[in-house]
Amino acid sequence: MRELASLFLRLGFTAFGGPAAHIAMMHDEVVKRRKWLSEQEFLDLLGATNLIPGPNSTEMAIHIGWQRAGLAGLLFAGACFILPAMFMVLALSWLYVEYGATPQAGWLLYGIKPVVIVLIIQALWNLSKTALRSAWLAGLGFTVLVLYLLGVNEIALLFGGAALGMLVKVLLDKRLSDLKGLFVPLGVTLAPLSAAAFSLPVLFLSFLKIGAVLYGSGYVLLALMRAEFVEGLAWLTDKQLLDAVAIGQLTPGPVFTAATFVGYILGGLPGGLVATAAIFLPSFIFVWLSAPWIPRLRRSPLASAFLDGVNVSALGLMTAVAWQLAGASFIDVPSVAVGLLAAFLLFSYRVNSAWLVLGGGAAGFLVSSVF
């Protein structure tokens, strides 16, 4: 347990750069340095995290904890990876609530938001190389994008894309019998709640639902939170949603701690804690339930087809949300210039996302001093 605490607390405080960077750091630590797992065992766990909902890097930490120390390790490793980011986001959320309406904070976020959009575009570019492996998958992703913009429920689109992926696999292979005995975790496809007064139980249920059905990159969280809290419950504005993502990018650890920010600005410290617990709880449960199934899922063609459908549907959702939120970020010539400079540094020199976000904030202050 001390070894798990030493590793995952350190990663929780230093793991910038998103899920891919987090997983690369875990691989270096647990395979190369500490030799807790073999290459094949690590790959098996990585494949398993892609077949269940939730944040991949957090679920990798939970899986490693399970392998190392059973149920206690599962809980301990996950908590040690999540808590540093949660406390940092809570501190930044307090500053946001206290000073977010001031001109200085406004200019800070003015410079950060274009960078966030550029980071989403980079994630889309990288994911598309893997997700769009065939013409029909590209068509599925485009269809999901259009249907989301037309108002179709985003959770239904995720599971519909997964089901279509399995159906196409079955039809291409002409092996209808493969559908028998397939184990797939079932999520509850619920439409976002309608506008209502804020309450902690509704906040908990909303984030619990999001954590239980979210596949793909953490940026897909944008689509689900926008549908739930901007369009459904009407508790947030698009500006506040972008601010949540910006705060999540500014801190190490899971991008899902954007939920901590949302919970705090809606319900103070109790709201931040409730939102964090709700969105991460399904990950602990899914890892605990799926661990014995890992060898079986890894060999299943239909599980792979399910994942293909989910991934390309998530890509379509991310593209649609990036398009919608770009209008709130690129509002004048300086904001476009900040975005272009961030894109150049990111794509040409692979500058760490945390430095880009800090640079965007500095650019916002610079613009405020000129205008």
- H-run or E-run covering 186: none
Q: Phi and psi (nearest 5°) for 217?
A: -65, 155
pLDDT at 189: 43
d(CA 120, CA 357) in angstroms, rounded, equals 12
Q: Which long-range contacts (CB under 8 A, 24 or more apart) does 221-224 make?
A: 221/255, 221/256, 221/258, 221/259, 222/120, 222/318, 222/321, 222/322, 222/325, 223/148, 223/154, 223/317, 223/318, 223/320, 223/321, 224/154, 224/155
Gyration radius of the chain's alpha carbons: 20
The DSSP call for residue 255 is G
pLDDT at 173: 67
d(CA 284, CA 290) in angstroms, rounded, equals 10
* Neighbouring residues of 3: CB distance < 8 A, sequence distance ≥ 6: 34, 68
d(CA 86, CA 311) in angstroms, rounded, equals 27
- Token pair, residue 286, equals 């899914």
pLDDT at 22: 83
Beta strands in 44-151 (DSSP E): none
Are 243 and 364 spatial neighbours (Cβ–Cβ below 8 Å)?
no
d(CA 82, CA 255) in angstroms, rounded, equals 10
d(CA 65, CA 61) in angstroms, rounded, equals 6
pLDDT tens-place values along the chain, 371 residues long: 999 999 999 889 877 666 766 887 888 889 888 999 988 788 778 767 877 888 888 999 999 999 999 999 999 999 999 999 999 999 999 988 888 766 667 787 788 888 878 877 887 787 687 778 888 889 999 999 999 889 887 778 878 888 888 888 777 765 544 544 444 443 444 455 556 688 999 999 999 999 998 876 666 788 889 989 998 899 999 888 888 888 877 788 888 999 999 999 999 999 999 999 999 999 999 999 987 776 665 567 777 787 788 778 878 887 887 888 788 789 899 999 999 999 999 889 888 776 887 898 899 889 888 87
pLDDT at 295: 60
d(CA 193, CA 270) in angstroms, rounded, equals 21
Amino acid at 309: G
Q: What's the burial of 18, exposed, middle or buried (CB within 10 Å: 0-12/13-18/19+)?
A: buried
pLDDT at 113: 83
* Neighbouring residues of 148: CB distance < 8 A, sequence distance ≥ 6: 154, 157, 223, 316, 317, 320, 321
pLDDT at 143: 93
d(CA 92, CA 84) in angstroms, rounded, equals 13
- Token pair, residue 70, equals 């059973």
pLDDT at 204: 96
The DSSP call for residue 328 is T
d(CA 36, CA 54) in angstroms, rounded, equals 24
Amino acid at 117: I
